[in-house]
Amino acid sequence: MKHYKRKVLVLMSIIVIVILAIYFSENNLKISYKYFNPFIENEQVSVEKQYVIPGGQTIGVELKTKGILVVGLADVVNDNKITTSPAKEAGMHIGDKIMSVDNKPFSTTQDFVSYINKEGIREYNIEVERNGNRIQLLITPIKRYSTNDIIFGFWARDNIAGIGTITYIDPETYEFSAVAHGITDSDTGELIDIDSGSISKANITNIKSGKKGEPGEIIGFILKDNNKLGTVRQNTPFGITGVINEKSLSYFSNNLVEIGRRDTIQVGPAKILSCLDDEIKEYNIEIVKTYYQSRPTDKSFVIKIVDEELLSLTNGIIQGMSGCPIIQNDKLVGAVTHVFMNDPTKGYGIYIEWLLDESHQKKSNL
């Protein structure tokens, strides 16, 4: 009799687990459930499924730098026909962020230039941030010989813009991840420390195919007249993160896809989602190599483009495809990050876990 009751209990437990699994699977919900073995006391194995909205949309990214970023130093000829660079002589470095001038904060190059033109030639106390430290520089500009412009001898910028791809959106918080690698300044090569940013719809005007030694590119422009899709909060080593505007959610898919952890990825067929015209399409790829990683990096596994349609359009992975979701066995397992310079059909992907971990870490640090 005891054995009969035990068998009934086991059968009922299995039936309940199967019913719950089918219900939650059909309703695409984020669930956490436990398997219980009635024959072994206190044995419980926790399994959690997580679902996100897959991306693939090509977007325009606009970032406002924190401070005014020094991207170059230049020698100029003064009104005495002497070549010099006041900024270089005062100790300014490429990569410095100008935070204030004469204790007045400036966030745009236009405001900086207006202030200097108003004040004229004199000594200025310029505070810069370098490697997390604040440094005071005393610089006296000169007049350029040919134009009489007031010159410090450095190049600077306060914003950056480009094209990228959405990887995923959290259906509960509307938080997104895009691009899948850090956005760096083209002149300094350093990760840009941003003050704010936004993402918008982009209009693709041309596709420049990649070739050996020369990466291709998605060419287009940001639709500035449209409402912004979302706000960028962080520029991390693994892409940008932020929040989608609630009214812009209709631009994205209503479908959900399960997150695939790195231990589920297999060498073999997979797909990427990309929008190279007016719609998101699935393109066939191969995951050709995976790396065991105990800590995050943006080069987690190697992929190869095998889809004939995509190869005819791009000849492989091109700039602007960074962030394209990688799907294997109906799970989001990663995103495209880099292209191989010697073979544009191949590139790197990043495990989706690293993107999720980065997003959660930034959230907890706020």
Q: Of the given ranges (25-39, 184-198, 268-282), which has the lowest mean pLDDT? A: 25-39
Contact by Cβ (8 Å): 163, 218: yes
Q: What is the pLDDT of residue 45?
A: 39
pLDDT band at 33 (very low <50, low <70, confident <90, very high): very low
Catalytic residue among 177, 198, 322, 359: 322
Catalytic residue among 107, 181, 200, 300: 181
Task: Look up 307 and say whether it is catalytic.
Answer: yes
Task: Look up 360 and say whether it is catalytic.
Answer: no
CA of 301: how far to CAs of 267, 289, 347, 350, in Å? 9, 6, 8, 7
pLDDT band at 141 (very low <50, low <70, confident <90, very high): very high
Task: Look up 298 and say whether it is catalytic.
Answer: no
Average pLDDT, integer, range 148-160 = 90
Dmax over CA atoms of the chain, in Å, equals 108
Q: Decide if pLDDT at 21 tops 60.
A: no
Q: Read off the pLDDT of residues 321-339 as tens digits, 9 standing for 90 and up.
A: 999 999 999 999 999 999 9
Rounded Cα gap, residues 73 and 232, in angstroms:
30
CA angle at 49 for the pair 48 and 54, rounded to the nearest 5°? 150
Total residues found in the chain within this entry = 366
